[in-house]
Amino acid sequence: MRRKPAPEPQGDGGTPSLPGMGPSARLPIEAGASEPSAHIESDTSRKFSPSKLDTYKDCPRRYRFRYVDGLRRRVETAETLVGSSVHKALEGLYAGIIHGRELSLDEALAVFDQAWTAGWSDAVVNRHKEYGPQHHQSAGRDCVRNYFSAYAPFKQDATLAVEKRLGFSLKADGEDFRIEGLVDRLARVAPGVYEVHDYKTTANLPGQASLDEDWQLAIYDIAVRENWPDAREVALVWHFVRFGQTMRSMRTAPQREQLLGDIAGLIVRIKHDHRFLPRRSVLCGWCEYRDICPIWKPVPSDGGMLAKEYAVQESKRRGLREKMHDLEIQFRQLEDDIVKYAIEHDVGRLSCSEGDVFITQKEDYHVPTRTHAPEFYAALEDRLRETPLWKQAAHIDLHRLLQGYDSGEWDAAGAKLVEEIVSDCAHIKRITKAVVRFHLKKEEEPE
Ligand code: SF4
């Protein structure tokens, strides 16, 4: 079907503004529109791992550096070295069990120590200067001990594989993709009952709710079912070995369906991203690309002067805002006093030499809003839909439509629909405009 050309924009207000179009900007851009940052080729990958997808969700620019530009910069920290060494020890343990030989605790600790010693060097980043390498090594050994305390002699299940590559195929945007990653350990507890095990050496223990929403391990649930058709139950098991605690979660069939849709939507989003905008967050503190990231890389001195001027003006503006706020409170109080007086004395006007204050009374409607009273709002909408007034009194919510698109809320089919609608009915004009925000510098932020 031939598409109707979209109407030409009529100056600034001619086309609907497209809220939230910043982050992904997958939709077609009007030819000749200026680009605030360099346009780069989109990602051509056909294979995605859970951590690769997670990198994009956390920060598209970091994703671009690592997976599109191919800049591999592994930063080893004391914590990551503890993690990989504990993994080596537990991998050795279960690899031995598969082959009929169980490692003793001392042997598993020796595997840990060997991995630790081989990995430790002056290049390893130790963020907690108060602790030397022995402290971290000892914390890692405790993780292995905790695991042995909880599970030796390891008869709870039958280990099928360790460090196993597992995956499945997925269609997104009409193309085939492969989702694949490494599982720490895969076990069978009973016929048709499987467990996906993941070792965590983090110093934080998450809540059950966050594990019930975790999608990284849930991906392997789908992969196990695809590879072992007898799987009727797949449990996701996390071992927080610093705490000696095991946590579990399971996914229902509708949740797995939803997850597949979310992954397809995310892949569509990545494939159409030509900008990979940086997303500042606490993760920047651990990012290996800070020195080349547009947000953190060193700026020429004239840029610094502009920032200085901005800081001065911003602090003046904040001062004025605070004064305005105080003034507003006094003003509201005075208004209340005037209204009370007018009602008490039954007058509609107060006068002085500077002018008149008129007091009018009116009634206002309080209607439910989608944000503050969603149930009442839905009932109101249903009621209105039944009436001929619907066409006149309702309006389309473009902001919501595009916000859902940008945030990846719509599934792959929904995202495609938005693209078609925008391509048919709108022009997107990208305007070079910086959104400036000022933050007081904190000590941990780099110069
Ligand atoms: S420093 Fe922050 S914003 Fe920049 S690439 Fe890394 S995570 Fe993204």
> How high is the pLDDT of residue 174?
86
> How high is the pLDDT of residue 14?
35
Strand 158-172 vs strand 175-190: parallel, antiparallel, or unpaired? antiparallel
> Measured from the CB, is residue 287 less than 6 Å from ligand 1?
yes
For residue 289, which atom of ligand 1 is closest to its CA? 6
> How high is the pLDDT of residue 40?
64
**What does the DSSP assignment read for 83-120?**
HHHHHHHHHHHHHHHHTT-PPPHHHHHHHHHHHHHHH-
> How high is the pLDDT of residue 21?
37
> How high is the pLDDT of residue 432?
63
In 271-332, beta strands by DSSP E:
none
Q: How far apart are CA 388 and CA 316, in angstroms?
A: 53
For residue 287, which atom of ligand 1 is closest to its CA? 6
Determine, yes or no, domain membership for 407: no
> Contact at 8 Å (CB) between 78 and 136?
yes
- Structural domain count, the chain: 1
Determine, yes or no, domain membership for 111: yes
Distance 29 CA to ligand 1 centre (A): 25
> How high is the pLDDT of residue 435?
67
Q: Tell me which amino acid residue 38 is.
A: A
Determine, yes or no, domain membership for 72: no
Verdict on whether the full-model pTM lies above 0.75: no
Nearest residue to 126 (alpha-carbon basis) of 114, 134, 117, 115: 134
> How high is the pLDDT of residue 270?
92
Determine, yes or no, domain membership for 333: no
Give 290: exposed, middle or buried? Use CB within 10 Å, 0-12, 13-18, 19+: middle
Domain ranges, residue 101? 78-271
3-class DSSP string for 180-192: EEEEEEEEEEECC
Determine, yes or no, domain membership for 188: yes
Joined together, the tokens standing for residue 64 give 């671009």
Q: Tell me which amino acid residue 136 is.
A: H
> Measured from the CB, is residue 293 less than 6 Å from ligand 1?
yes
Q: How far apart are CA 324 and CA 330, in angstroms?
A: 10
> How high is the pLDDT of residue 424?
83
Q: Tell me which amino acid residue 40 is.
A: I
For residue 290, which atom of ligand 1 is closest to its CA? 1
> Measured from the CB, is residue 429 less than 6 Å from ligand 1?
no
For the chain, residues with pLDDT lower than 70 are 1-40, 428-435, 441-447
Task: Verify cis geometry, omega within 30 degrees of 0, for the bond prior to 50.
Answer: no
Instruction: Provide Rg for the chain, Cα atoms.
Output: 29
Determine, yes or no, domain membership for 295: no
Helix (H) or strand (E) holding 339: helix 301-345
Joined together, the tokens standing for residue 353 give 């030499």
Determine, yes or no, domain membership for 47: no
> How high is the pLDDT of residue 33?
37
pLDDT tens digits for range 217-253: 999 999 999 999 999 999 999 999 999 999 999 999 9
CATH number at residue 234: 3.90.320.10
> How high is the pLDDT of residue 430?
64
Determine, yes or no, domain membership for 341: no
> Contact at 8 Å (CB) between 191 and 185?
no
For residue 284, which atom of ligand 1 is closest to its CA? 2
> How high is the pLDDT of residue 299?
83
Residue of 62, 65, 69 to mutate, ligand 1, most atoms within 8 A of C-beta:
62
